[in-house]
């Protein structure tokens, strides 16, 4: 059966604007053509219903896009990955503020938030209308960044450093995701075949993710802090500024890092 866009919207229980938004975002394949008319098929209707089904489970468009990319030909909810995506969504819950609202909470110009967004380092949660929303955690981190500016760090140089860090950490994160994918997700997925078993395996993967994420986060944070402090101390030692070095060592000791020199 073939549909024009209005008929497809009616059959899927959605709007024409939503269909076009899904197409723009790569969630829905483009229609075929019959003369000058756009023509949709049953596959489009099935895909729309699948998107709506996953959305009702609380998955964002970003998570749904990832799931569809992993299973491009699927017309049913692939339960094995849905549990993992739900676990990922838990980490992005509470996206309550728009960019302008975030600026208001911080007491900074909205242009500052837009500058950070333009740099590519503001990875807010995507909403169905294509806009970014920010969580309480984002607000807390942004308050810390504003405190850095209050100490006199120049915004342009701070943003440039943040962009460099962001590019490096994204590569590291991709590698970490590949490790998890190869040694946790695929390992569980390949071991199970039946539908119920696949769902159980998906829950196991989601459980592993929930346990691994805080451990990895703590390791990365600890390593960054240790390297930052040790690098600063090495610089002071090279300068031979004994009084500043002594003070810095006392400050470093309060971070509960074991700093030692050979």
Alpha carbon distance 138, 92 (integer Å): 10
What predicted TM-score, i.e. pTM, was given to this entire model? 0.60
Query: Which residue's entry shows tokens 């405190």?
Result: 147
Nearest-Å Rg of the Cα atoms of the chain is 24
**Is there a contact between 176 and 53 (Cβ–Cβ < 8 Å)?**
no
Encode pLDDT of 17-44 as tens digits: 999 989 888 888 899 988 888 999 999 9
Identify how many contiguous H helices and E strands the chain contains and give both numbers.
Answer: 12, 4
Give residue limits of the domains in the chain. 5-77
User: Would you state the pLDDT for residue 129?
Assistant: 58
- Crossing angle, helix 61-70 and helix 79-90, to 10 degrees? 150
Encode pLDDT of 104-117 as tens digits: 999 999 999 988 88
Cα-to-chain-centroid distance, residue 100: 20
Residue 149, phi-psi category: left (phi > 0), alpha (psi -120 to 50), beta (remainder): alpha
Confirm or reject CATH 1.10.1660.10 for domain 5-77, answering yes or no.
yes
């Amino acid at each position: 059966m073939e549909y024009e866009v209005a008929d497809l919207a009616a059959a899927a229980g959605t709007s024409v604007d939503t269909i076009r938004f899904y197409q723009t975002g790569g969630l829905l394949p483009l229609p075929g053509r019959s003369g000058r008319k756009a023509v949709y098929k049953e596959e489009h209707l099935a895909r729309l219903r699948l998107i709506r089904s996953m959305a009702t489970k609380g998955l964002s468009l970003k998570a749904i896009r990832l799931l569809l990319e992993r299973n491009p030909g699927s017309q049913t909810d692939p339960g094995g990955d849905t549990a993992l995506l739900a676990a990922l969504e838990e980490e992005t819950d509470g996206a309550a503020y728009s960019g302008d609202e975030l600026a208001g909470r911080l007491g900074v110009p909205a242009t500052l938030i837009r500058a950070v967004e333009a740099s590519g380092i503001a990875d807010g949660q995507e909403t169905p209308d294509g806009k970014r929303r920010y969580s309480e955690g984002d607000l807390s981190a942004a308050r810390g960044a504003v405190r850095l500016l209050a100490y006199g760090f120049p915004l342009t140089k701070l943003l440039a450093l943040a962009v460099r860090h962001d590019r490096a950490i994204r590569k590291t994160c991709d590698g970490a995701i590949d490790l998890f994918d190869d040694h946790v997700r695929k390992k569980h997925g390949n071991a199970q075949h039946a539908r119920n078993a696949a769902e159980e395996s998906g829950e196991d993967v989601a459980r592993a993710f929930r346990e691994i994420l805080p451990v990895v986060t703590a390791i990365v944070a600890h390593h960054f802090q240790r390297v930052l402090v040790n690098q600063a101390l090495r610089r002071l030692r090279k300068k031979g500024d004994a009084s500043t070095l002594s003070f810095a060592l006392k400050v470093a000791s309060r971070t509960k890092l074991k700093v030692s020199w050979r």
